[in-house]
Amino acid sequence: MTGLRQSWVESANDPETDFPLNNLPYGVFSTEGSAPRCGVAIGDMVLDVAGLEAEGILSAGDPPVFSRPSWNAFMELGPEGWTGFRAALMALLKTGSPMRGRVEPFLVPLDTVRMHMPFDVAEYTDFYAGRNHATNVGTMFRGAENALPPNWLHIPIGYNGRASSVMVSGTDVRRPWGQLKSPEMEAPVFAPCKRFDLELEMGAIVGVPSQGPVSVQEADDMIFGYVLLNDWSARDIQAWEYQPLGPFQAKATATSISPWIVTKAALEPFRTSTPAREKELLPYLREPGPMIYDIDLMVTLAPEGGVPTVIAETNYNEMYYSAAQQLAHHTTSGCPMRVGDLLGSGTISGAEPRQRGSLLELSWGGKEPVALDGGAERSFLEDGDVLTLLGAARGDGFRVGFGACTGRVLPALDDPYAR
């Protein structure tokens, strides 16, 4: 495995930074009074690649692609364009680069910028590919005997979600209203969600379009990069609405993503294998090589005015199905995939209780509340809670991090229909 690549941007050589030269993730930023545009994180700075492009110092080709508030136009260039640009960025920023003097004026301190959605989400699909999560949820809802649905070991289960409510980290999330009915209630009521929850996930971003079915290898080649993803979930709405077509309004309120797209190229050294197959998969779903990544993940919860407590720690390599397998499966019907499609991995939970990626599992359906530093407890999210997802692949003396994916829960509005 490669070690830390040295940069003349000093803060990028700190072994604890999320953004060493090895990473170079892509985001959209603005500063006071300037328009959102493309930037690359390096150490504690953002490199204004739109500015470099305008000055003719750095280019991804013609026409220009960076002076706009999304990376979609760059994605459209395809894998060769991605590789060439990453190599050019590395050359500009590495220690000893003769270009330092011309590039340095385009560095903006990270703590002075505002981050925006890094890409236009074409469509959003969410999966259910974590075996521990599916087993835990199944055990709670159907009993341990029938925990995994009969199709689970054969097919990456998913549903078509909403692109319109995908939001960048830092955006507040309003507790939704919905139709609720617990088993002991005779009839449903329309009320604010009482079991609002998170789902710790990774999001894979499609950078190459497809027409017709693709193989797992072709699917992997289509993936541009990854983000952290919080699939906010209204468990009480979900429990009543989900049969027989799956989640609908329970998942439609909001999906938060981290602001930096970590490229597949940056994650390449951390490739690893999905867990052993219990049942042999159909040929179209078999992986030609390691297709998942070793990425440490963490969730913290801070009550309003309180300190954050780590409530879960796990790893992306727990997933039974990789994003490439999910994407290949997504195309089997002939469904065309587009640049900017976002695929949620499904909730990532490890085998141990502290490795569970949702409060539903951590509190075991509310029966075992999670203790927070400072004395509070949580079964589900309360108003004012701030949730933060963190993730990083760890190399020898460096880390490839994602930056935080954070969101605060706002109280439900007054009855939206009382008017």
Q: For binding to Mn ion (CB under 5 A), which residues are involved?
A: 126, 199, 231
Contact 314, 355 (CB under 8 A): yes
Displacement of CA 11 from its chain's centroid (Å): 25
Distance between CA atoms of residues 66 and 63, nearest Å = 10
Q: HSE of 230 in the Cβ direction (CA atoms, 13 Å)?
A: 37
Which residue among the candidates 116, 133, 329, 330 is catalytic per the annotation?
133
For residue 34, what are the contacts with CB-CB under 8 A and spacing of at least 6? none
> Least separation, in Å, of the C-beta of 342 and Mn ion?
12
For residue 384, what are the contacts with CB-CB under 8 A and spacing of at least 6? 303, 304, 305, 408, 409, 411
Measured from the CB atom, the residue of 5 and 251 that comes closer to Mn ion is: 251
> Least separation, in Å, of the C-beta of 106 and Mn ion?
38
In this chain, which residue has its C-beta nearest to Mn ion? Answer: 231
Omega into 63 within 30° of 0, i.e. cis?
yes
> Least separation, in Å, of the C-beta of 257 and Mn ion?
13
Contact 209, 337 (CB under 8 A): yes
Measured from the CB atom, the residue of 358 and 388 that comes closer to Mn ion is: 358
Measured from the CB atom, the residue of 231 and 236 that comes closer to Mn ion is: 231
Distance between CA atoms of residues 346 and 328, nearest Å = 16
> Least separation, in Å, of the C-beta of 347 and Mn ion?
6
Answer positive or negative: Cα dihedral of 27, 390, 107, 14: negative
Closest CA to 387 of 320, 325, 321, 309: 309
> Least separation, in Å, of the C-beta of 290 and Mn ion?
24
Measured from the CB atom, the residue of 129 and 180 that comes closer to Mn ion is: 129
Measured from the CB atom, the residue of 53 and 126 that comes closer to Mn ion is: 126
For residue 87, what are the contacts with CB-CB under 8 A and spacing of at least 6? none
Number of residues that make up the chain: 419
Residue 154 annotated among the catalytic residues of the structure: no
> Least separation, in Å, of the C-beta of 346 and Mn ion?
6
Measured from the CB atom, the residue of 199 and 385 that comes closer to Mn ion is: 199
> Least separation, in Å, of the C-beta of 299 and Mn ion?
14
Distance between CA atoms of residues 182 and 97, nearest Å = 64
SS3 content of the chain, % helix, strand, coil (to 5): 25, 30, 45
Measured from the CB atom, the residue of 103 and 257 that comes closer to Mn ion is: 257
Task: Write out the two tokens for 2.
Answer: 């490669």
Q: Which residues form the catalytic set?
A: 133
